[in-house]
Amino acid sequence: MKALVLKNVGQLNIEEVKKPEPAKGEVLVKVGACGICGSDIPRAYKDGAHNMPLIIGHEFAGTVEAVGDGVDNSWLKKKVGVFPLIPCNKCQCCLDKKYEMCSSYSYLGSRRDGGFAEYVSVPEWNLIELPESITVEQAAMLEPMAVAVHAIRQALKVKGYDVLGKLEEQILDKSVVVMGLGTIGLLVTMFLKDLGFKNVYTVGNKETQLKMVKELGISEEDYCDINVWDEIDWIRSKTMVDGNCHGADFFFECVGSSRSLDAGIYSCAPSSVVCTVGNPHGDMDLKRHTYWQILRNQLTLVGTWNSSFTHDSSDDWNYVVDRLSQGKINPQKLISHEYDLDHICGGFEIMRDKSQEYIKIMMKFIANKDDLL
C-alpha cells in the first residue's frame, strides 16, 4: 500500500510499504481522510517522532476493512472515528478512566503508524462508530473537535459547570475571549457559540481568521487583529460593565506564547479563568508583575490536554458525534486545502513554510480528484 513515511527529520515521502494486518484485538481501518495537525510539522521537520521510520497522522477516520482475533465481525464495513491515544490501562489515570493523562501511552501517528496511509491497524478499544450522516471529512476532524470541547469543559468545571449540562443564562452572559485562531481556537469558538455563549470575542492576526470567525457568528467588531490593536486594551474595552472595565470571565489561550498568556492574565476579571490550550513554541516567561496579577485577582489557570474518551455517552468524543449527527456544527468550514495521498506533502510544505494562508489541510481518498479543493 501507499503511505506517507517519516524516515528521519525532514525525510517525508510517499512510499510503498507492507499493508498491515490487524493483531489480536485490533481492526484494519481503510482510511477515508486524515488531517494535518499543527504538531505534525515540528514532528516532520524539526523534532522527529518517537519511532522512525513512521507513518504519521493522528486525525483520521475511515471504515473497518478487516478484524483481528477477538474482535466481533459486526465491525466490518462500519464507518469509524479513531481516538489516537492508546492507554496502558494500568496507571492510576487509566484506572480512573482519565485515559488522556495516561503515564505510559502509545499514540497512533507519533509512536506507532498512523493515518496518512491507505490502511492502518487500530485497537478495537479506540474506535467510535459513526452514523452515515457524518461525512468522512467531519469524521477526520473528530480529534481536534474533541480537544476543543475538552478545553471548554476544563474551564467551565472551575465554575461548577459541565459542557454536557444545560448552561444557565448567568454563565452564558459571561465574557469569553479566544486568543489564537488556528484550528483549535476556531473550534473552541464554534463550540462556544453552539453552547449559546453570547459575548464571545476573538483575537487573531490573519484575514482568513476574520473571515472564518464571521462565518461562525462573530461580528467584525468582536474580532481583534493584533497587527492593528493592542489586544489587552481591546479586550478591556469590549468587557466594560456600567462604564467600568470588568475584564474577561474566561480566556482561552490557544497560541502557546508568553505574549498571549500575558494578555489573558492582564485582561481577565478578578476570579476569572485562564485556560491554557496552545502547545508552547518555546520557553515561556512569567514576569514578577504578571505573577502578582494572578495572586491579586485570584485567577485560576487551568491546563487542558487531549480529550476524554471513555466509551460513555458523557465523554468528549460522544458529545462531538452527537452535535455532528444533529447538524449543529459544521467543522468542514475550516478545511482550506484538500489533497490526495500522492500530493499531501504539498500541504505539509505549506504549513512548514507558511507560503499560503490555511486553516485545516486534509488528505482525502476520493474517486473524482477534481473534487479536491
User: Per residue in 233-270, pLDDT tens?
Assistant: 999 999 987 777 789 999 999 999 999 999 999 999 99
Are the CB atoms for 157 and 275 separated by under 8 Å? no
What average pLDDT does range 52-63 have in this prediction? Answer: 97
> What residues contact 95, with CB distance under 8 A and at least 6 apart?
none
For the chain, which domains are there?
2-133+327-371 (3.90.180.10), 145-303 (3.40.50.720)
What average pLDDT does range 178-184 have in this prediction? Answer: 97
The tens digit of pLDDT for each residue in 25-53 reads 999 999 999 999 999 999 999 999 999 99
Reply yes or no on whether the pLDDT at 289 is more than 70: yes
Dist CA 231 CA 229 (whole Å): 6
Which amino acid is residue 136, in one-letter code?
V
Residue with cell 492510576: 92
What average pLDDT does range 86-111 have in this prediction? Answer: 97
Dist CA 160 CA 172 (whole Å): 13
- Give the pairing of strands 59-67 and 79-82: antiparallel
Reply yes or no on whether the pLDDT at 106 is more than 60: yes
Reply yes or no on whether the pLDDT at 371 is more than 70: no
- The three-state secondary structure class of 117 is strand
